[in-house]
């Protein structure tokens, strides 16, 4: 079994200020529903640079590793993660978030 990653790409929000208010609450919901201690961050969040001459279609990326594809699938199918996913869609005002899975190239 090899590690797999869940990646969520958030399109440019229609209201950046509101997204910046909503996202911390979304992450708190993730911690609560998935029983992740508040002082532990088993994920990374990346904000993308976007200039007028080179606009990025995405504003932000969330990436979280899982020990196996089975563990990821089990998590994605849980009622708790379904609630978190619904909230991700709610806060993503620039369009539905793009959800990808994959592993590091060797």
Give tens-digit pLDDT for 78-90: 999 999 999 999 9
- The domain containing residue 67 runs over which residues? 4-102
- Per the CB < 8 A criterion, the answer to whether 6 and 66 are in contact is yes
pLDDT at 104: 83
Burial of 25 (0-12, 13-18, 19+ CB in 10 A): exposed
Q: How many domains in the chain?
A: 1
Q: What are phi and psi of 105, to 5 degrees?
A: -70, 145
41-59 pLDDT per residue, tens = 999 999 999 888 888 999 9
For residue 29, the domain's CATH number is: 3.30.70.100
31-40 pLDDT per residue, tens = 999 999 999 9
Residue 3 to residues 36, 55, 78, 87, 104: CA-CA distances in angstroms?
19, 32, 19, 25, 8
């Amino acid at each position: 079994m090899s590690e797999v990653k869940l990646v969520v790409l958030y399109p440019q929000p229609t209201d950046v200020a509101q997204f910046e208010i909503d996202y911390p609450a979304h992450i708190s919901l993730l911690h609560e529903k998935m029983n992740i201690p508040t002082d532990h961050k088993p994920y990374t969040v990346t904000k993308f640079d976007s200039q007028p001459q080179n606009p990025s279609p995405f504003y932000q990326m969330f990436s979280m590793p899982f020990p196996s594809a089975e563990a990821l699938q089990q998590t994605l199918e849980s009622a708790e993660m379904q609630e978190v996913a619904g909230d991700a869609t709610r806060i993503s005002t620039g369009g539905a978030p793009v959800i990808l899975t994959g592993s590091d190239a060797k």
